[in-house]
Amino acid sequence: MSVSGVGLRALAVALPRWRLTRAEWARAWGRRPGPGSRPVAGHDEDSVTLAADALDRLTGAGGVDALYVAGVTAPDAERSSSSVLCAALDLGAGVLTADLGGSLRSGAAAALLAADRVRARGAEVLVAAADRRDAEPGTDLEPVLGDAGAAARLGPAAAGDLAVLAGSASSAADLPDAWRPAGEDAVRRADAAFSPRLTLGPGVRAALERACADAGVTPAEIAAVAAGGAEQRLLTAAVEAGGVAAAAAGGDPRALAAAGDCGSASSWVALAAALDAAAPGDLIAQVAAAGGGADVLIWRAGDGLDAWTETGGSGLDVPSGQEIPSYARFLRLRGRIGAEPLSPYTSAALLWREGGDELRLAGSECAACGWFAYPRRPLCVECGGRELRERRLGRRGTVVTWTEDHVFPSPEPPTIMAVAEMEGGGRFFGQMAATPPGLARTGLPVRLVLRRLHEGGSLGHYFWKLLPVEES
């Protein structure tokens, strides 16, 4: 199949519920307070759940040929984040699932690989990039980093796309500006004056020039630069040097303000912000730059922008999130101050046998009488029918009853448990996610989100939790 171009069908950003204000961070450390806040993943969120939240926001995740998941903070080594997501979102067992990591550029690299697969197969491909980022407590980096996920759907260019990929280029150079020793979770940075000038600057400039050449445009035609990350100032200087107009190179400050330096997801968050302000035909340079080089994707905004705007765009303008009451609570959320130790029971065999269906929300429907049950049953309880079809539990529902449980050990007490009646029939009973005390009530609209339930046997267990639906 001949594919003339690669289109960006859909794009979504997901931020976790919690926020640490830079004022609270400064109060704790006796520093000068900065503006705004950084998004903070809760104890039950990691790069897998942030990616799941972003993928959930894409309209229609099904019917894809591959899922590429990028990030440098995958919770487990030698276990595929993309396969967990493929199962939870029920994408089908036949899709290619691949995990990219090792560099903050992996989010952009995933898009470049996805574009190649779209061209080669004429297929639609999902890309997700997410990171949960930590720095040493008290360092300048700590309030600047962020946790976020982004997801995109790419396919053969078509009417209604948000943008079309006009060109791309990469540059690689091993110069140490940022790194994280294996087994540690805090980011290290080299001399702030040395690394930008010698590593990122030249790399970005070279990649940008070649990407523009690939697209058949000049840097001066770039309407906006979508570059995430803490090195924004440096990137700006580099692209300006490459011939991009100063106004365009500045990028959209909302991306950094809302999501912080969220690692592999940051250039996608910046692209989402740039699309909010773009007009069809505008050229946007998505720039991912970090230790080891730079990737640049030149997007030409498409006629899908109207729909993008109508459905709320990136959503970065909408104030969201819940302030963490204190820096101490932040440390506990991050697992840096011990909570009650837990080593929940698990069984790999049981998880495979039952947990897989439960994770896919696979219930059973009686072929004879239509009686539905989740979790699935071996027999229809209503009529005794033995022929059962698989039907998934709905993802949205309404709280039937609930409790704030102060007994169950949690880094975010109380644990709120709720029963919800789900759309399409059936109920779900389980924990609520990121719900402050006092919010739960009978009749509350909720939806199911993927969360990290616990680490029994040092294995991350993913399951669904009920999240209040924000009604604006």
Q: Closest CB to other proteins among 18 and 462?
A: 462
Stretch that binds other proteins, among 106-114, 126-134, 166-174, 352-360 (CB under 8 A): 352-360
The residue to which tokens 């940022």 are assigned: 178
Give the separation between CA 61 and CA 40, rounded to whole angstroms. Answer: 26
Stretch that binds other proteins, among 59-67, 101-109, 162-170, 368-376 (CB under 8 A): 368-376
CB of 468 to other proteins, least distance (A): 16
Give the separation between CA 368 and CA 342, rounded to whole angstroms. Answer: 44
CB of 52 to other proteins, least distance (A): 16
> Which positions from 309 through 328 interact with other proteins, judged by CB under 8 A?
none
**Residue 469 is a binding residue for other proteins (CB under 8 A):** no
Give the contacts of 189 (CB within 8 A, at least 6 positions apart): 141, 177, 178, 195
Give the separation between CA 157 and CA 171, rounded to whole angstroms. Answer: 26
- Taking Cα atoms as reference points, which of 47, 65, 60 lies closest to residue 10? 60
**Residue 243 is a binding residue for other proteins (CB under 8 A):** no
Task: Give the residue, chosen from 344, 367, 379, 383, that forms a contact with other proteins under the rule CB under 8 A.
Answer: 344
Sign of CA dihedral 471, 302, 165, 158: positive
**Residue 419 is a binding residue for other proteins (CB under 8 A):** yes
Q: What would the two tokens of residue 232 be?
A: 């924004």
Give the separation between CA 241 and CA 234, rounded to whole angstroms. Answer: 11
Count interface residues toward other proteins (CB under 8 A). Answer: 44
In order of 98, 103, 178, 202, the CA distances from 292 in angstroms are: 21, 8, 9, 12
> Which positions from 168 through 207 interact with other proteins, judged by CB under 8 A?
none
Query: Which one-letter DSSP state was computed for residue 261?
Result: B
Task: Give the residue, chosen from 312, 369, 403, 423, that forms a contact with other proteins under the rule CB under 8 A.
Answer: 403
**Residue 425 is a binding residue for other proteins (CB under 8 A):** yes
Q: Closest CB to other proteins among 1 and 349?
A: 349
**Residue 347 is a binding residue for other proteins (CB under 8 A):** yes
Q: What would the two tokens of residue 360 be?
A: 């896919």
**Residue 358 is a binding residue for other proteins (CB under 8 A):** yes
In order of 38, 263, 459, the CA distances from 299 in angstroms are: 28, 21, 39
Stretch that binds other proteins, among 6-14, 178-186, 237-245, 421-429 (CB under 8 A): 421-429
**Residue 408 is a binding residue for other proteins (CB under 8 A):** yes
Convert residues 375-394 into a mask of x (bound to other proteins by CB under 8 A) and - (unbound).
x-x-----------------
Q: Closest CB to other proteins among 179 and 463?
A: 463
Task: Give the residue, chosen from 219, 263, 291, 355, that forms a contact with other proteins under the rule CB under 8 A.
Answer: 355
**Residue 413 is a binding residue for other proteins (CB under 8 A):** no
- Taking Cα atoms as reference points, which of 255, 223, 254, 225 lies closest to residue 239? 225
**Residue 29 is a binding residue for other proteins (CB under 8 A):** no
Give the separation between CA 222 and CA 285, rounded to whole angstroms. Answer: 7
> Which positions from 438 through 457 interact with other proteins, judged by CB under 8 A?
442, 453-454, 456
CB of 465 to other proteins, least distance (A): 9
Give the separation between CA 52 and CA 61, rounded to whole angstroms. Answer: 11
Calculate ∠ Cα 394-395-399, nearest 5°. Answer: 95
**Residue 402 is a binding residue for other proteins (CB under 8 A):** yes
Question: Long-range contacts: 414-418, Cβ < 8 Å, 24+?
Answer: 416/440, 418/444, 418/446, 418/466
**Residue 343 is a binding residue for other proteins (CB under 8 A):** yes
**Residue 417 is a binding residue for other proteins (CB under 8 A):** yes
- Which residues in this chain contact other proteins in the complex, by CB under 8 A? 342-347, 350-351, 354-355, 358-359, 373-375, 377, 400-409, 414-415, 417, 419, 421, 425-431, 442, 453-454, 456, 461, 463
